Every structure is written in C-alpha cells, then in structure tokens.
Amino acid sequence: MNQPASPSLFQFALYMADNCLVLGHRLGEWCGHGPVLEQDIAMTNISLDLIGQARLYYQYAAELEGKGRTEDDLAYLRSEREYTNALLVELPNGDFAHTIARQFLFDAWHLPFLKTLLSSPDAGLADIAGKAVKEVTYHLKWSREWVLRLGDGTDESHRRMQAALDEALDVSSGTVDAGTV
C-alpha cells in the first residue's frame, strides 16, 4: 500500500489545480462574448486547456492525499475559503483589457514555472508540466500579442491596457484587495 505523500506536495498540487481551474472558469465566461469570433474561440480553447491542466493536478493531488477523494471532490466539494489559488486568477473579467492583463501576468509566471517543473524530482509533477508546456507556450504568445496590440493601438486602448496591468499588478503584489477591483 502506498504511503500518503507529504502534505506540502499535496498542497502544492492543489494550489496549481486551483489556479488553473479558477482562471479557466473566469476565461470561460467570455464564451460567446468575445470581441470577435476568432478571439472568442481562442479564449474558450485556453479556458479548456486550463481546466484540463486543473484536472491533471486534482487527480494527482487526490492520489497524493490517499484519502479516497476524487478530482471532483477536490475541485467542487470544498468551500470557497479552502481554495488556495493566487488572487490574480480571481479578478473579474472587466473589459477585454482586464482579461488580457490577468491572462498575460498569469501566463508570464506559469510558463517558466512549468519549464522548471519539467526537471522536478517528483515524476507526477514533471509529467503534468510536460503535458502543459506546449499549451501554455501558446497562451503566453496569445496574451503577449494582445498586450502589445492594445498597448500600441489607440490612445484609449493604451490607457485601458495600462490601467488593467496596473490593477492586476497591484492585486498580485498585495497592494490592493482583489475584492475592491
């Protein structure tokens, strides 16, 4: 019989899963509401990628915990206070610039983090990272292009993109409470 893994490894897998799940659902709120069909589809696909990654992390966390809970138990049968995700992924969509700012900052953190996990001594984490790197490489490319497009666009799009980045960075650094944005 397998021994349960260390609580910190379980908590880490849960943290990664929670980030992907919450952001995946936030981004999925754009389905049918994107500014143009191509971006609507892109955001929906990124959302599905994130939810798929969340599933992998939740499955692994359930295995690590060894208490018979399933990925669904961990994903959906906890109170909101039991989620361990970063506040950044909880930010409301707001306008398109706010969604892009949140996505870009997450992607800019997520991709190098996954690349580091590729060499993790924990085979389960390395395997999940190996499956996610290609998807997240696309996510970062997509969000970076939109930050640049909006930032270099009109005065209005530049102002909105800068304001969205400033707000998201303030929440990420703990300067502002996510509930006030």
* pLDDT above 50 (res 155): yes
Would you say 24 and 48 are in contact if contact means Cβ atoms under 8 Å apart? yes
Q: Which of 94, 113, 116 has its CA nearest to residue 20?
A: 113
Q: Within 13 Å of residue 27, how many CA atoms lie on the same side as its CB?
A: 30
Predicted TM-score (pTM) of the model is: 0.92
pLDDT classification of 173: cutoffs 50, 70, 90: confident
* pLDDT above 70 (res 5): no
CATH class of 7-175: mainly alpha
pLDDT of 166 reads 97
pLDDT of 1 reads 40
Domain ranges of the chain: 7-175
| pLDDT tens per residue across span 29-68 | 999 888 888 888 999 999 999 999 999 999 999 999 999 9
